[in-house]
Structure 1
Amino acid sequence: MSHYIEKILTAPVYDVAIESPLDAMPRLSQRLGHQIHCKREDLQPVFSFKCRGAYNKMYHLSEQERNQGVICSSAGNHAQGVALAAQKLGIKATIVMPTTTPSIKVDAVKRLGKEWINIVLHGDFYDEASQHAKILQQQHQLTYIHPFDDDYVIAGQGTIALEILRQHPRPIDAIFVPVGGGGLLAGIALLIKALRPNIRLIAVEPDDAASMTQAVRHGSRITLDYVGVFADGVAVKQPGEHTFNIIQKHVDDYITVSTDEICAAMKDLFDDNRAIAEPSGALATAGLKKWAAQQSEKNLNLISIVSGANVNFDRLRYVAERAEIGEKREGLLAVSIPETPGSFLKFCQLIAQDQSITEFNYRYQDSKQAQILVGVQLNNGQRQLEHFIDTLNTHGYPTTDLTHNDLAKSHLRYMIGGAPQNLSNEFLFRFGFPERPGALLHFLKTLGNQFNISLFHYRNHGADYGRVLCAIQSTNRALLDQHLHNIGYDYEEQTHNPAYQHFLQPPTPKT
């Protein structure tokens, strides 16, 4: 251990890195009943901790190794660290990344390296990129800069632990660290267990990429057949040899989290600190939340490492959809109701008594029964959802819980609909619903029972006005227009919209 401690204490990481802040998370602390802080490695110049280890390794290269050039494989963040170090030290570098690497990381490497970097995209996962990089290393006699399984890389990451102990001299009960290959956790574990062995170290992995957890459980570095790539920064099939040996000796516990739980943690980091973490960057916070919920003791001092912020902006759409389910603040239900005028209003009156609706998906299918996909806001988690399901079943609305059905969450909620047969006199409208209790009931009551709603889609977007798509059947257009005017909501007809005509509009009856 002393061999590593000396390397950590003398690592010149501040040539390229900052001492990242240790931020309090007051909202999450109050909710969980603990004192929670997060270490903001997402604020580094390359928006992740990886510049520490990469620079420390390349700084210690011999003159001959520098002149020959280096090569690395990376899921993106290590690549940026190597690119920054190459620019700082004047070293040519070849960087191999998986083809699945988010474009924001690839583009960042291009900007950082400029004339110093050659980028190669190969394979779908880090391990495939790593194998290809080793082939290129042999062909071109380059020095391999390992992203995690190297003494100098491990030591560079370990400087984070030094900062935590300086920034939080008071007692610390547990530190939560994201794990891919294990370089970050190994470096932190070596220093923490040397100076403050009473602090619990907890490794956090995605449940679909838990290579270190499985390795420790089996007592050897097994290779997973497949790893999920949502948290691409930790999508590693096999942990490092050195990191595995360190971690199995010095880490106290291991926890895995789901994609939904990672999304919920990303939202927590934004709510408390306005941090926009990448999925692997929020991994440790997700693990902290899950672990804290299992503890009987309260007011513990807990710290999570926010390891990076290199996330494509368009991925945030997916994160926003899954965050509420991951926090157990939203349920997703399939409900059957009679296909008769007024049944929609009756159903909404029942659920409006004690339930806030976050989503409504419905499209006419036949004249007997309607299938509705309903999102409901939860304040009391699973218990509240189970009570609501019992209420619906008791009132004659057969209900199926789809909250944890990945097919429903990822695809079905966007695909409900189609063009029904035997449906005529349908008009399509977009409405602006004020986001307040009773808005939907006001709409249905004012519309009355003489019109049939044949399509309805609503999704809460956290704005002052919700966006609603609604199709209404009517043989008296003037009467329908009068009722729509009486509702008092802004609306715009979409019957002639080509998207409706191509995918949703019923076919014209044959004469």
Structure 2
Amino acid sequence: MKSNTTSSIKKGAQHVPPYFPQLKDIQQAAKVIAQVADETPLQKSIRYSKQLEANVWLKREDLQRVRSYKIRGAFNKINSLSPESLKQGVVCASAGNHAQGVAFACNHLGVEGTIFMPVVTPKQKIDQTKMFGGDRVQVVLEGDTFDDSYKASKIFCEEEGKTFVHPFDDPKTIEGQATIGLELLHQAQEPIDYVFVAVGGGGLASGLCATFKELSPNTKIIGIEPAGAPSMKKSMEKGELVELSQIDKFVDGAAVQKVGAFTFPICCNHLFKMETVPEGKVCQTILELYNRDAIVVEPAGALTIAALDDFKDEIKGKNVVCIISGSNNDITRTAEIKERALLYGNLKHYFIVRFPQRPGSLKEFVVDILGPNDDITHFEYSKKSSRENAPAVVGIELKSPEDLEPLISRMKDNNFYGDYLNNKPDLFQYLV
């Protein structure tokens, strides 16, 4: 799913940013966060380098002490506050990673914090936030998306007279995230041709753009968004900030309805390209990293690697860095991750099966209709009573995508076929 966004970036570049990170401020941020943030490894991926015929390096921010890069911006922002503001306390909204960075900073600096998170936030991220914050932090679950939590947190912040610590749209936050660029340039043994970075609100992407503009202007920064939440891409295409009415919340660390007023013009002017990646491809990448490299990542952490296939011709023979942004994944999501990966790979299919009114039809379906490598992974009658006459929703996992058409043909020839649900998203969501 390659997207041609060069023209949209040029259109967005008409905007003059109200702020652009200065190298001296980024270098100062590096000194500030040195007391809490680790210098994470830059590791060469033998597998991806061989597969893509490029030198692919992974910047392992998933190994940060809060398991994401967000501690950098959160700590830099909170540390910059006046004693009066620190005494009054801070507020933030987060889908999980920024929350943990803020919680850690609050505990370390002795600051009271109130953290708003969406109700759908994985339990693992909520528990980690409470653990890092200790008795300094209160967690409030509000709304279905980051944007819902953000709106509620801003109201609370104004009512209580506290300081808001923005997850991406704040100069101090951006400068903290930008320190990754300093580390990359210090660690890299050769010039970096490409950096792939996940884009949610755009804080990390903006910080990297600033660092590389000053220190390595020939490096191309490529932003990656989930296809179900392309807020930066849509904004670039329109040439102004766009708020999406609906988003797919699955890639929770990079799913926002609206990017930042600070970050949008920076990304417009300095990102080389914006790319979107389907959520199913992200899930495939998560499973591959775990099974083949023993690397555990959250969906947002897999975005950059998931995009590499779309750039294989462009990056061939080049030095490429992928930012692995975080590893705060909840094991309870594994079933959904596998399901999305199989659906994207055209290996999982759902049907309405109408069993003929003849004895032994269910046995016939299993023995004669299914292929030798096909597995039933979901089976539910549409009616609990009169099952022998009721159609059923059946999920089937295939060994190969090529097995689908023969399966459908056997179902139709023997009067089992009712409907195919994968290409009917509304019905699919309702029944499965």
Q: Name the TM-score, length of structure 2 as normaliser.
A: 0.81
Question: What's 2:405 paired with?
Answer: 389
**Alpha carbons of 1:113 and 1:358: their partners in 2 closer, same or farther (altered >3 Å)?**
same
**2:123 corresponds to 1:103:** yes
2:349 aligned to which of 332, 339, 357 = 332
Q: 1:308 aligns with which of 315, 320, 326?
A: 326
Secondary structure in 2 aligned to 1:154?
helix
CA distance in 2, matches of 1:88, 1:343: 62
Query: What is the aligned counterpart of 1:259 among 262, 268, 279?
Result: 279
Does residue 10 of the first structure (1) align with residue 28 of the second (2)? Answer: yes
Asked if 1:279 corresponds to 2:296, the answer is no
Q: After superposition, where does 1:396-435 map in structure 2 within 5 Å?
A: 396=413
Classify 1:362/1:102 alpha carbon distance in 2 versus 1 (closer, same or farther; 3 Å): closer
**In structure 1, what residue type is equivalent to 2:405?**
I
Aligned-partner residue type, residue 77 of structure 2 = K
**Equivalent position SS for 2:75:** helix
Q: Give the C-alpha shift of residue 391 in structure 1.
A: 8.8
Structure 2: distance between partners of 1:139 and 1:362? 51
1:410 Cα deviation after fit: 6.4
* Equivalent position of 2:153 in the other structure: 133
Contact 2:21 2:174 in 1 (8 A): no
Deviation at 1:408, TM superposition (A): 8.4
SS at match of 2:92: strand
In structure 2, do the counterparts of structure 1 residues 144 and 362 end up closer, same or farther at CA, with 3 Å as the change threshold? closer
Note if 1:292 corresponds to 2:311.
yes
Greater percentage in helix: 2
- Which segment drifts farther, 34-43 or 238-247? 34-43
* 3-state SS in 1 of match to 2:295: coil
How do 1:114-193 and structure 2 match up within 5 A?
114-193=134-213
Counterparts of 1:155 and 1:75, CA distance in 2:
21
- Offset at residue 370 of structure 1 (A): 10
Deviation at 1:169, TM superposition (A): 2.8
Q: 1:26–1:272: 8 Å Cα contact kept in structure 2?
A: no
Contact 2:376 2:394 in 1 (8 A): no
The 8 Å contact of residues 32 and 292 in structure 1, kept in 2 or not, is answered as no
Q: Residues 247, 166 of structure 1: CA spacing in aligned structure 2 closer, same or farther, 3 A cutoff?
A: same
Q: Which consecutive residues of structure 2, in runs of 5 or more, have no partner in the other structure? A: 1-18, 382-386
CA distance in 1, matches of 2:392, 2:101: 55
Structure-2 separation of matches of 1:45 and 1:137:
28
Q: 2:380 & 2:248 partners in 1: Cα distance?
A: 34
Shift, 1:196, TM fit: 1.8
TM-score w.r.t. structure 1 length? 0.69
Distance change (3 Å), C-alpha of 1:297 and 1:406: same
In the alignment, which residue of structure 1 is the partner of 2:13?
none
Whole-Å separation in 1 of the counterparts to 2:282 and 2:366: 35
1:23-42 matches, within 5 Å, as 23-42=43-62
Structure with higher RCO (Cα < 8 A, 6+ apart): 2
The answer to whether structure 1 residue 234 and structure 2 residue 254 are counterparts is: yes
Contact 2:21–2:171, Cα closer than 8 Å, also in 1: no
Partner of 2:217: helix, strand, or coil?
A: coil
Label 1:24 to 1:324 Cα distance change in 2 as closer, same or farther (>3 A): farther
Instruction: Give the match for residue 509 of structure 1.
Output: none
Cα distance change on mapping 1:4 and 1:296 into 2, 3 Å: closer
Counterpart of 2:22, as a letter, is: Y
2:425 corresponds to 1:377: no
Structure 1 unaligned regions, length at least 5: 415-511
Q: How many Å apart are 1:296 and its aligned residue? A: 6.3
Larger Rg: 1
**Aligned match of 1:449:** none
Q: Which of the pair is proportionally richer in strand?
A: 1
Query: By how many angstroms is 1:372 displaced?
Result: 6.7
The one-letter amino acid of 1:316's match is T
1:13-68 CA distances to partner (integer Å, 9 max, x unpaired)? Answer: 22111111123333344344443332211111111111000101111112222222
Shift of residue 319, structure 1, vs aligned partner: 0.8
What CA distance in whole angstroms lies between the structure 2 residues aligned with 1:88 and 1:371? Answer: 53
CA distances 1:275-311 after superposition (whole Å, capped 9, x unpaired): 221112222222233x235x36634433222211222
Q: 1:250 Cα shift?
A: 0.4
- Specify the alignment match of 1:318 in structure 2: 336
What's the offset of the Cα at 1:244? 0.7
Verify: 1:269 aligned to 2:289, yes or no: yes
Aligned residue type for 2:221: L
Query: Matches of 2:21 and 2:196 in 1, distance apart?
Result: 24
1:377 partner letter: K
Deviations 1:222-247 (A, max 9, x none): 11112221111222111111111111
The amino acid of 1:357's aligned partner reads D
Matched residues, number: 399
Distance 1:168 1:299 in 2: 16
Q: How far 1:248 sits from its partner (Å)?
A: 0.5
| Contact 2:21-2:210 at 8 Å conserved across structures | no
When residues 249 and 266 of structure 1 are mapped into structure 2, their CA distance, relative to the original with a 3 A threshold, is same
Q: 2:167 is paired with a residue of what secondary structure?
A: coil
Residues 52 and 370 (structure 1 numbering): CA distance in 2 closer, same or farther, change over 3 Å?
closer
Matching residue's letter, 2:374: I
Q: CA deviation at 1:194?
A: 2.1
> Using a 3 Å threshold, how does the CA distance of structure 1 residues 361 and 247 change in structure 2: closer, same or farther?
closer
Given candidates 43, 53, 74, the residue that maps to 2:63 is 43
Note if contact 1:360-1:375 (Cα within 8 Å) is conserved in structure 2.
Answer: yes
What is aligned with 1:461?
none
Give the distance between the partners of 2:141 and 2:320, measured in 1 at CA.
38
Alignment RMSD: 3.2
Instruction: Classify the secondary structure of the residue corresponding to 1:246.
Output: helix
Tell me which amino acid in the other structure corresponds to 2:349. Answer: L
Instruction: For 2:90 and 2:103, locate their aligned partners in 1 and report how far apart those are by CA, in whole Å.
Output: 10
